[in-house]
A and B are shown apart, each in its own frame.
Chain A
Amino acid sequence: MVKLTIEENTYSCQPDETVLDALLRENVNISYACQKGTCHSCMVRSPDTLPPEAAQAGLKNTLKKRNYFLACLCHPEQDMIIKLPDQSEFYTEGTVVVNEMLNRNTLLLIIAFKDAFEFNAGQFVNLQRADGLTRSYSIANTPQQSNTLEFHIRRLASGRFSEWLHDEIKAGDTIAVSEPRGHCFYLPERSEQGILLVGTGTGLAPLAGILTDALAHGHSGPIYLFHGSREVEDLYRIDEMRQLVEQHQNFHYIPCISGNHVPEGFTHGRVNEVALASLADLKGWRVFLCGHPEMVNQTKTMAFMKGASMGDIYADAFHVTQEKK
């Protein structure tokens, strides 16, 4: 008989039971549906223990790496500490060291920590204001670059959190930062694989992290970054990306403008349509999609139809929190 621990509570799991069976028997509030590994509703995490292989069948590599598993398929082999998806998080205090504008509506925010902050480039965290207001933002740098996290914050019309960051936060202020989340990140494997990065607006933040990480790991396959917005003034880091193109033969950067005024050096069109039209076949490619939810969802299907395997498509849709009136 093994023990399952969730926060302060410990439950026993009988030999013939799955983790889900045991937790349901103990009246633990856990979401589930199909109970046969299909729907992924009961996906949970054991941060410190490697789950049995069978309990990770069908999950993405980045989820497997972070010890996610399906409770309904898990016959535990040893005691496990389990984190449910909605369990309260641990926050770390950080100090703002840089706040400057990247373009007319995007703020570069860099937060420093006393100790190393463990994460994978491309993941996101929750930032929390003293009154409890919380929003998710993607990390734009890589863990190798000192004990800091970099964020790109777009000012949203009547967005309480982004307005606060833009207008009130200054260097030296502290801010609470959650543990890193999300499974949209680079794993240093199959380095000859083609990588397609498609993002709108501040979707560049996680993509920049993933790009830096891949280049730092010596990824040798072609890497294409398509960054899009309606107007050229809403793109950013254009010169930095062009500089990377000079330095890395396998890196290609295509800034896209969907509006009508398209300066030289930019491609006219919606970023996902330009990207999919530029690449004939995505069989064997790894694809990262970040930004506007509709773009992300459409492109997922488009990339799959062009040959990319679903296990190789990583997506991070930026949902805007609706303000309560």
Chain B
Amino acid sequence: MTDTLNNEEANMSQTLYERIGGEAAVNAAVELFYRKVLNDYRINRFFDNSDMDKQIAKQKAFFTMAFGGPNNYTGRDMRNTHAHLVKMGLDDSHFDAVMEHLGATLVELNVPANLIAEAAAIAESTRKDVLGK
């Protein structure tokens, strides 16, 4: 351990990603979340499960972003990667369903409500880009 003052400063300035539990939290959340998504007839057609390993990797990137973790997604990335889904009919109702599963997953993992709200707000902030509006 280094000196206490620095640690206290670090705690005060910890990011949501750190407070929520970092990569371990992402790993715990991803599979729970993705099972919910694939079980949901409203949205599972948007998730191509032909390559499950790649899908899981993508969901990890999604959770890392939602937890405010290290990522370099831009609004343009969000638009480009979801453009083909918008053509398939992706709209607000589907975005809402994903938000619902995100919240349920974090509740299941006993993440405190205030942190869930922060993560939901980050995910919500991508809505326009994801839906190509």
Residues of A near any B CB (own CB < 8 A):
36-40, 57-58, 60, 297, 300-301, 304-305, 309-310, 313
B39 at the interface (CB under 8 A from A): yes
B71 at the interface (CB under 8 A from A): yes
B19 CB contacts on chain A under 8 angstroms: none
Residues B23-48 near A (CB distance < 8 A): 23, 31, 34-35, 38-39
The 3 closest A-B pairs by CB, nearest first: A38-B61, A310-B56, A301-B49
**Closest beta carbon of chain A to B38's beta carbon, Å:** 6
B53 at the interface (CB under 8 A from A): yes
The reply to whether B61 and A310 contact each other, CB–CB distance below 8 Å, is no
Residues of B near any A CB (own CB < 8 A):
23, 31, 34-35, 38-39, 49-50, 52-54, 56-58, 60-61, 71-72
Q: How far is the CA of A39 from the CA of B49 in the complex (A)?
A: 14
Q: How far is the CA of A312 from the CA of B45 in the complex (A)?
A: 25
Report which of B23, B52, B54 forms a contact with A301, defined as CB distance below 8 A. Answer: B52
Q: How far is the CA of A313 from the CA of B34 in the complex (A)?
A: 15
Task: For the A-B complex with A37-B57, A39-B54, A60-B53 known, give 7 more contacts whose Cβ atoms are closer than 8 Å.
Answer: A38-B57, A39-B57, A40-B54, A300-B52, A301-B52, A309-B31, A310-B53
22 contacts between A and B (CB under 8 A): A36-B61, A37-B57, A37-B61, A38-B57, A38-B60, A38-B61, A39-B54, A40-B53, A40-B54, A40-B57, A58-B57, A300-B52, A301-B38, A304-B31, A304-B34, A305-B35, A305-B38, A309-B31, A310-B31, A310-B52, A310-B53, A313-B52
Which among A60, A301, A310 has the highest number of chain B CB atoms within 10 Å? Answer: A310
A309 CB contacts on chain B under 8 angstroms: 31
